[in-house]
Amino acid sequence: MNPNSDFTHFDSHGNARMVDVGAKPPTERIAVARTSVCMAEETATLIQQQALYKGDVLQVARLAAIMAAKRTDELIPLCHSLNVSSTEVELEFVEPGILQITTRVKTNGPTGVEMEALVAASTAALTVYDMCKAVDRGMTIRELMLLEKRGGKSGDWIREEVTVRPAKSN
């Protein structure tokens, strides 16, 4: 491990460490992440009509995302425990068979919420898969990404627009 590396989760000897954010002032921080679940059009119709026996897939996925954002530090080893002040989840079919999931997480703290937004989006997608796998095992979860982060010492970052592409047919 290069001791001059920019990877902050390693000390000068290459050992994993949690970054000390104790001296950093709390500031408003926001992160937005997105992923998509690609599925058969018939599966999308069942979700939209709330016709799956497990219940309202989108509402369960929304709750799963909110819960995941609050517990990210239990899943990602070097994440700090954060007081998440809000988590918003948008679930939208952008094309037949493509469910786009966008999460927006906010805190007022000493470190960012990028991981919370990413974990929330991925957990919502996994929840959709879990609830629908009995009717569509071929679903794919694609393009998990950070769209933007705001606040903190490093300032704002916004990804150039990315569009979700349909999966190629075999």
CATH number at 37 reads 3.30.70.640
As a dihedral over the C-alpha atoms of residue 143, residue 45, residue 58, residue 98, rounded to 10 degrees, the angle is 10
In this prediction, residue 144 carries a pLDDT of 97
Does 2 reside within a domain? no
Neighbours of 25 (CB within 10 A): 9
**Two tokens, residue 146:** 């950070």
The HSE-up count of residue 149 (CA atoms within 13 Å, CB side) is 17
Read off the amino acid at residue 169. S
Does 103 reside within a domain? yes
Does 147 reside within a domain? yes
In this prediction, residue 4 carries a pLDDT of 44
Query: What domain range includes position 92?
Result: 30-154
pLDDT string in tens for the chain (170-residue length):
444 456 666 677 777 766 666 566 778 999 999 999 999 999 999 999 999 988 899 999 999 999 999 999 999 888 888 889 999 999 999 999 999 999 999 999 888 899 999 999 999 999 999 999 999 999 999 999 999 999 988 889 999 876 655 555 43
Does 7 reside within a domain? no
In this prediction, residue 164 carries a pLDDT of 55
Does 160 reside within a domain? no
Q: What is the pTM of this model?
A: 0.84
In this prediction, residue 3 carries a pLDDT of 44
**Two tokens, residue 162:** 């990315």
Does 135 reside within a domain? yes
Does 114 reside within a domain? yes
Q: Which residues are known catalytic residues?
A: 130
DSSP 21: -
For the residues of 74-106, what is the DSSP string, one character each?
Answer: HHSTTPPP--EEEEEEEEEEEETTEEEEEEEEE
Strands (E), 96-169: 98-109, 140-150, 157-158
Q: How many structural domains compose the chain?
A: 1
69 — phi, psi (to 5°)? Answer: -60, -40
In this prediction, residue 78 carries a pLDDT of 82
